[in-house]
Structure 1
Amino acid sequence: MPHLRRSLRRFDIMAMGIAAVISFDVVGQIATGGGEALTWTAALAFLFLVPYALIFAETGAAFPQEGGPYVWVKLAFGRFAAALTTLFYWVTNPVWLGGSLVFAAASAWDGFVFRLGTGTVADYAFKLVFIWVSILTAVVSLRRGKWITTAGAIVKVGLVLLFTGTALVYGIEHGFGGLHDAVLSPTTAGFLGLVPVLLFAYVGFEAPNAAGDEMHNPKRDVPVSIGVSACVAACCYLLPVVAILSVAPAERASGISGFLEATALVFGVYGSWGGPLLTTAAVMFVFALLTQGSAWMIVSDRMQAMAAADGAFFGRSLGAFHDRLGTPVRMNLLSGITSTAFMFAAMTLVEGDTAAVFGVVLTVAITTLLLSYLVIIPALVVLRRRHTEVPRPYRVPFGTAGFLICAGLAYLWILLGSWTALFPGTLEPLLGVAYDFQDIWGVSRITFETFTLGTVAALLVVGVLGRALGSPDR
């Protein structure tokens, strides 16, 4: 790509990974698991995050081309498999931005900063601005856009430290009653309920590799960046969960609003300053969510643009990079349109059966990120065994055996998460755990499977059509 400029140094890569992966609404969901949430968060940090980070650190340094996972799957399995995998990886992000992040941001702003209402002009305006600011951050040149995602990463870490420190002070004043009642022993129900959420929380550190040709020294910087950002993310999930469970019951941390309610509780230690500080914290929350969307748009749009430029996703023109900005503007705009469409759909389908169905489709669309790893991880193994001539600046400990063990562990966890996303409630009866499907999802299992498998089938049709209408192999 002649228009790409090397803008990302090691700190930028680390910051982009942190900005993309750490999600405060996920922190709230994890905390609802009670004491065993700590156990499973720590367990998956060692049993999934470590092996996952090791194999992607080695591959990302050895194959640093623009497009990242698209290039890896293409080298391993060909253009068609790469096109489908990249579509699943990419579509998660505009759907998540327009169907989840924007609503979490609006809820935080409405509850703690300025009243928006629901379905009002102010509500629509806020959500549209949120979506398109995230998109425009991806449109501007990377050497400027990276500072926004870097600021988001700093705000996230700063907010975690502020909340954790304040919770410590609150606990000293009022006692750490939550820890006395917390049951850390893992259970089967907790395992099935928390593991899929934690897997979704922990993946994505390879995403900056989508801008591989825009890194100054990827062979040196990628392994260190993945290692550091993964450690920071693990701490940013563990520390606030510990803090929440120490001073507040788990039910006060359900989703983004619940997490802010827990923040409101501990900020009482600041007296009259508590209100302004809570408003500031809510603004930081919203900014962190916005930059999370920006970071994913920057990297995933580049992946999908590389697929289009390669002729694997409709026309090559869709993958064109702007001459001056060096960004895939057309793919950025497609993401913005997709996000906006999902936002309007969610605003329209707000009650009754349609709301439950939309929630099912949204959940499956988001978990397509996990489904993409079912192809990406085997591709890493194929590259490790087939392309032995490629220099590998960093290697997983214990050579090929160590790489295969790490890949096998990561793959088994992803397989579990993908299965529970598409077929929830099927493992619980086998393990003696009660599961009321209708009560949890608001629809019957037949309806659920119709829409989940239908969503996946629709994406496959789009992928096949995009490849068929793309350019022939060169």
Structure 2
Amino acid sequence: MPTNLPSAAEPQTPRTPHDTASDSNLKRSLKRFDITAMAVAAVISFDTIGQIATGGGEAATWTAAIALFFLLPYALLFAETGAAFPQEGGPYVWVKLALGRPAAALTTLFYWVTNPIWLGGSLVFLAAETWDGFVFHLGSGTFADYTFKLLFVWIAILTAVVSLSRGKWITTAGAAVKVLSLALFTVTAILYGAEHGFQGLATAHFAPTTAGFLALVPILLFAYVGFEAPNAAGEEMHDPQHDVPAALGRSATIAAACYLLPVLALLAVVPASKVTGIGGFMEGVRLVFGVYGPAAGPLLTLTAIMFVFALLTQGSAWMIVSDRMQAMAAADGGFFSRALGAFHPKLGTPVRTNLLSGAVATVFMLAAMQLVKGDTGAIFSVVLTVAVTTLLLSYLLVVPALVVLRLRRPEVPRPYQVPFGNRGFMACAALVYAWILVGSWAALFPGVLESVFGIDYDFTAVWGVSRTTFETFTLGTIVVLLLVGSAGLAAARRSVRDRTTP
């Protein structure tokens, strides 16, 4: 079976026979609407809206500022690169072409593992808390609690296992439910404010501060990144060269509005001091739905179910794209066995990688419930920070890879280009990279930059756990991932040598 080589007309990462066999099971099923819906389903994070709103009035200010000075240049960079290099695997291929297989394999591991951690940590905890408070009582640490969380994790995984032609409709439904829920909440909050007054605005302070910036930048960056994720299924798109830039622009605009407007609405009717990261959004829904009188109860229950469904499809969307990235890394000899990169001949999905994600999510969920002492809010914050850290760290190599491809592969056709050529591209990359550096540091070492600027920071009061527990989860996770990634590369190399040795 011949190996396809790169060409100027259609740049490709060199394939092995195993890669080609995997690709033969891929079917083109994503159109522009599907790509947009998948990005919206993945990127709009219900679990971060309440977390952002805890920053008070300046949270809205920083949400708008980071949308302008981070999201816009970020979208321009990835729109150009995603259209120019539409191979299956997306960011894995980009980093490999620019920096080599080892860098690509480690980057993909950090990018991928974020999602089972996030699914088994923050998403499942928020879903369980919402179901317990608004639909059916589960309790904490009970059989019902464990059952709900396990079902949530594995339903999300199974929706990623089904063929993309079917799975895309699950994520599309999730995107629609998200936008509908957020629009309903925003409109209802306006009606509530018109009737009862916008009391939250009286205590909101919109002036930006350094302390507010340092507290909010990691979570806001986490909320805004990921629009390149559908490129992981690049060879399952009908026309990625033209659809990716358009879909990314639309989904980025929708996401910015879906963060800013609900945060403003939430702060307008709920004083910032009463907004909590894990229950802030649904508590705001409970309050404003009072305008519907006797219908408030059923509507609240329905909204809670929609909220949980949206969280589920959010996890599914990320599993669909990030598992493909990790599968392509494995198929290319960058992660343990190439068997992990096999795509099912009928489903066209990387079933083995999907199941690995489910196992990681399950282990992390059980560990979070057992090892972190404190209430659900404290667990939620620490787990979310781990996910923020690993995802942001992956961009420390992805963004430079985009720059290298821009400079070293000028012959590659680029249907869409960042304005002002190389200068515009470099300016956007420098701005995005600066944001990623600040966000990564603030997520890994909260309180350090605050001390540099003379800002008081009570670690235990902020996080609900000691610094030792916090750093055990964050830095410990980073060290483990580096060890796993290095072992994966070494095992893959040994496997290749064993196959080629007579």
TM-score of the aligned structures, taking structure 1 as reference length: 0.96
477, 480, 484: which one pairs with 1:455?
A: 477
User: In structure 2, what residue type is equivalent to 1:439?
Assistant: A
Partner of 1:223: 245
C-alpha separation in 1, matches of 2:145 and 2:331 = 37
The Cα offsets for residues 193-223 of structure 1, whole Å up to 9 and x where unpaired, read as 1111100100000000000000000000000
1:342 paired with 2:326, answer no
RMSD: 1.9
More divergent stretch after superposition (145-154 vs 359-368): 359-368
Residue in 1 that maps onto 2:346? 324
Which residue pairs with 1:255 in the alignment?
277
* Equivalent pair of 1:4/1:326 in contact (CA under 8 Å): yes
Match of 1:140 in 2: 162
Would the alpha carbon gap of residues 404 and 247 (structure 1) be closer, same or farther in structure 2, given more than 3 Å must change?
Answer: same
The answer to whether the 8 A contact 1:19-1:291 is kept is yes
Q: Residue 428 of structure 1 aligns with which residue?
A: 450
Match of residue 9 from structure 2: none
- Structure 2: where are the runs of 5+ without partners? 1-22
Residue range with higher mean Cα deviation, 308-317 or 433-442: 433-442
**Alignment of 1:364 onto 2:386:** yes
Do the aligned partners of 2:204 and 2:271 also contact (CA within 8 Å) in 1?
Answer: no
In the alignment, is residue 208 of structure 1 matched against residue 226 of structure 2?
no
Aligned equivalent of 1:407: 429
The one of 317, 322, 325 aligned to 1:300 = 322
What SS does the corresponding residue of 1:119 show, helix, strand or coil?
coil
Counterpart of 1:186 in structure 2 is 208
Is residue 113 of structure 2 the alignment partner of residue 91 of structure 1? yes
The alpha-carbon distance between structure 1 residues 443 and 246, as it changes in their structure 2 partners (threshold 3 A), is: closer
Equivalent residue for 2:265?
243
Distance 2:177 2:379 in 1: 35
2:199 to 171, 177, 195: 177
* 2:47 corresponds to: 25
Correspondent of 1:289 among 311, 329, 335: 311
Deviations 1:39-79 (A, max 9, x none): 10000000000000000000000000000000000000000
State the AA in 2 paired with 1:418: S
CA distance in structure 1 between the partners assigned to 2:188 and 2:383 by the alignment: 38
CA–CA distance in 1 between the matches of 2:475 and 2:296?
47
Q: How far did 1:442 drift?
A: 4.9
User: Does the 8 A contact of 2:62 with 2:208 survive in 1?
Assistant: yes
Do structure 1's residue 416 and structure 2's residue 438 form an aligned pair? yes
**Structure 1 outlier segments of 4+, above 6 Å:** 355-359
CA contact (8 A) 1:322 1:329 kept: yes
Aligned-pair distance for 1:177? 2.5
Percent identical among aligned pairs is 72
Query: Superposition pairs for residues 9-48 of structure 1, below 5 Å?
Result: 9-48=31-70
Q: Report what 1:73 is aligned to.
A: 95
Q: Is the 8 A contact 1:349 1:358 kept in 2?
A: no
Equivalent residue number for residue 379 of structure 1: 401
Tell me how far 1:451 sits from its aligned partner.
5.0
- Which of 131, 149, 153 aligns to 2:153? It is 131
Aligned equivalents of 1:437 and 1:294: distance in 2? 33
1:355-410 CA distance string (max 9 Å, x none): 97997576324420000000000000000000000000000011110000001000
List runs of 5+ in structure 1 lacking aligned partners.
none
Q: Does 1:196 align with 2:218?
A: yes
SS in 1 for 2:279: helix
8 Å Cα contact 2:219-2:388 kept in structure 1: no
Hey, what's the Cα distance between the residues in 2 that align with 1:40 and 1:442?
24
CA contact under 8 A between 1:32 and 1:250: conserved in structure 2? yes
The answer to whether 1:232 aligns with 2:254 is: yes
For residues 106 and 221 of structure 1, do their structure 2 counterparts lie closer, same or farther at Cα, with a shift above 3 Å needed? same
The letter of the residue matching 2:74 is: Y
State the shift of 1:182 in Å. 2.2
Distance 1:359 1:35 in 2: 20
Of residues 288, 292, 299 in structure 2, which corresponds to 1:277? Answer: 299
Aligned residue pair count: 474
TM-score when normalising by structure 2: 0.91
